[in-house]
Structure 1
Amino acid sequence: MSAEGTRPSVDAELKVGQTRNLIIATLASVMGFWAWTIIGPLSSRYSQAMDLTAGQTSILVAMPILVGSVARVPVGALTDRYGGRVMFTAILGVTAPLVLLTAIVGQLNSFGLLVFVSFFLGIAGTVFAIGIPFCSAWYEAHRKGFATGVFGAGMVGTAVSAFVTPRIVAGLG
Structure 2
Amino acid sequence: MITIVMGVSGSGKSTVGGDLASHLGIPFVDGDSLHPQANKDKMAHGVPLDDADRQPWLAAIVAVMDEHRARRQSLVIACSALKRRYRDFLRGEHRDVRFVYLHGTRDVLAERLRERGSHFFDPALLDSQLATLEEPSRTEAAWVEITDPPARIVEKVIRAGCAEARQAAR
Scaled by the length of structure 2, the TM-score of the pair is 0.32
| Structure that is richer in helix per residue | 1
Scaled by the length of structure 1, the TM-score of the pair is 0.31
| Structure that is richer in strand per residue | 2
**Which one has the largest radius of gyration?**
1
